[in-house]
């Protein structure tokens, strides 16, 4: 509602809803041909142009008119003055960040870091009855059907000589003209009171060998390719394929933790 007020000066959910409804009708899109048309048909032109277009094009490195409509099934719009991005009851990160949590979970478990499964595949397959594989599924099968596409991001980090740079842990930049998508100010995750501040600008790009694959590109072409690999994986009783790279699916942290129970 704060956004709708800033956009249109509306103060009640009813006014905001009727503004969106009017823009949806004005657009007159019945069968969206691409992501742009789909988004406008869901939330109207203003929200699409100010909040979705530039951010999506930066994130995916593709124009919204060239992205398929089905990527966006729905665009959640919330008519409350609560500025939280998610509706979850509990939101946050573990005290001290994720390292203490992971260290605790793995305490007493033999762990090897910086060890590529593929560099010594035969050895790892020999020592285990069951393997949980969380790497790239196409690489697991030596790319036999072709390469899946992934997106990645890189960060430019700097220490600034001010106490508080942006007043929040994350600020999103939705406009196309600014090439980073987000600025992270790390101290705000744990209410830091240091005299200086560390800030990371996030730049999305296409994944290439040597960088870390982060997001699957779940368009029609890649999903079809993934299904070919999945058919092989379903027939692999000694290996459990889990996570965003092995299941070629976007997961948030809470979803991935829940998903582990199903493995
Ligand atoms: C920039 C960014 C921001 C995010 N922000 C949020 C957020 O705010 N909230 C939220 O809920 N989620 C967020 N996520 C999503 C979150 O990171 C994922 O949900 C979570 O990490 C998925 O867990 P996973 O086990 O599927 O994959 P990963 O955490 O990627 O684990 C896969 C593991 O497999 C290892 N691996 C891969 N290949 C090999 C190999 N060949 N040999 C050995 N090891 C290998 C990798 O090193 C990695 O440790 C974010 C993700 C990114 C990229």
Pairing of strands 215-216, 197-206: unpaired
Residue 93 lies in a domain: no
State whether 129 and 6 are in the same domain. no
What pLDDT, in 10s, does the model give residues 101-126? 999 999 999 999 999 999 999 999 99
pTM for the model: 0.88
pLDDT, greater one: 67 or 48:
48
Residue 79 lies in a domain: no
State whether 224 and 178 are in the same domain. no
Reading the block at residue 155, the tokens are: 């960060």
Residue 88 lies in a domain: no
Residue nearest to atom 7 of ligand 1 (CA): 252
State whether 251 and 214 are in the same domain. yes
Residue 90 lies in a domain: no
State whether 199 and 217 are in the same domain. no
What pLDDT, in 10s, does the model give residues 61-110? 889 999 888 888 878 889 999 988 788 888 888 999 999 999 999 999 99
Centre of ligand 1 to C-alpha 232, Å, is 23
Pocket test for ligand 1, best of 253, 254, 263 (most atoms within 8 A of CB): 253
> Where residue 126 sits, what CATH number does that domain have?
3.40.50.720
Which domain, by its residues, includes 55?
2-71
State whether 116 and 105 are in the same domain. yes
Q: Is 168's pLDDT higher than 90?
A: yes
Pairing of strands 182-185, 150-160: unpaired
State whether 107 and 128 are in the same domain. yes
Q: Please tell me the predicted confidence (pLDDT) of residue 261.
A: 76
State whether 234 and 141 are in the same domain. yes
State whether 116 and 233 are in the same domain. yes
Mean pLDDT in residue range 13-26: 96
Centre of ligand 1 to C-alpha 162, Å, is 31
Total tally of structural domains belonging to the chain: 3
Residue 249 lies in a domain: yes
Residue nearest to atom 34 of ligand 1 (CA): 134
State whether 23 and 56 are in the same domain. yes
Mean pLDDT of the chain: 93
State whether 168 and 217 are in the same domain. no
Residue 201 lies in a domain: yes
Q: Is 260's pLDDT higher than 90?
A: no
Pocket test for ligand 1, best of 86, 189, 249, 252 (most atoms within 8 A of CB): 252
Q: Which residues line ligand 1 (CB under 6 A)?
A: 116-118, 134-135, 153, 214, 243-245, 251-254, 256
Residue 76 lies in a domain: no
Q: In whole angstroms, what is the distance from residue 39 CA to residue 52 CA?
A: 8
Centre of ligand 1 to C-alpha 105, Å, is 16
What pLDDT, in 10s, does the model give residues 198-221? 999 999 999 998 899 999 988 889
Residue nearest to atom 37 of ligand 1 (CA): 135
Residue nearest to atom 14 of ligand 1 (CA): 252
Q: In whole angstroms, what is the distance from residue 230 CA to residue 56 CA?
A: 28
State whether 179 and 222 are in the same domain. no
Asked which of 23, 53, 71 is the last residue of a domain, the reply is 71
Question: Taking every pair of C-alpha atoms in the chain, what is the biggest distance, in angstroms?
Answer: 65
Residue nearest to atom 32 of ligand 1 (CA): 134
Half-sphere exposure of 76 (CA within 13 A, CB side): 5
Centre of ligand 1 to C-alpha 163, Å, is 30
Residue 225 lies in a domain: yes
Give whole-number Cα distances, 19 to 27, 41, 50, 76, in Å.
13, 13, 15, 16
Backbone angles phi, psi at 212, to 5 degrees: -90, 120
State whether 108 and 31 are in the same domain. no
Residue 118 CA: which ligand 1 atom is closest? 41
Mean pLDDT in residue range 173-190: 95
């Amino acid at each position: 509602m704060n956004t709708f007020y800033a956009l249109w000066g509306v103060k009640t959910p009813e006014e905001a809803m009727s503004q969106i409804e009017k823009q949806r009708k004005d657009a007159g899109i019945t069968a969206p041909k691409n992501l742009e048309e789909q988004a406008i048909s869901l939330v109207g032109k203003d929200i699409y142009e100010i909040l979705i277009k530039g951010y999506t094009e930066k994130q995916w490195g593709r124009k919204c008119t060239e992205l398929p409509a089905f990527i966006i099934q729905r665009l959640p719009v919330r008519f409350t003055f609560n500025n939280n991005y998610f509706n979850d009851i509990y939101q946050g990160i573990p005290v001290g960040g994720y390292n203490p949590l992971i260290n605790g979970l793995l305490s007493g478990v033999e762990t090897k870091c910086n060890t590529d499964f593929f560099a010594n595949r035969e050895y790892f397959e020999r020592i285990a009855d069951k393997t949980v594989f969380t790497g790239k599924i196409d690489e697991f099968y030596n790319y036999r059907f072709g390469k899946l596409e992934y997106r990645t991001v890189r960060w430019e980090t700097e220490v600034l000589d001010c106490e508080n740079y942006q007043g929040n842990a994350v600020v999103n930049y939705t406009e196309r003209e600014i090439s980073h998508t987000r600025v992270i100010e790390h101290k705000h995750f744990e209410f830091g009171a240091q005299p200086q501040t560390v800030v990371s600008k996030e730049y999305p790009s296409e994944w290439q060998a040597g960088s870390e694959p982060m997001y699957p590109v779940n368009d029609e072409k890649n999903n079809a390719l993934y299904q070919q690999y999945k058919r092989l994986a379903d027939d692999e009783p000694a290996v459990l394929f889990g996570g965003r790279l092995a299941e070629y699916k976007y997961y948030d942290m809470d979803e991935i933790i829940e998903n582990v129970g199903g493995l």
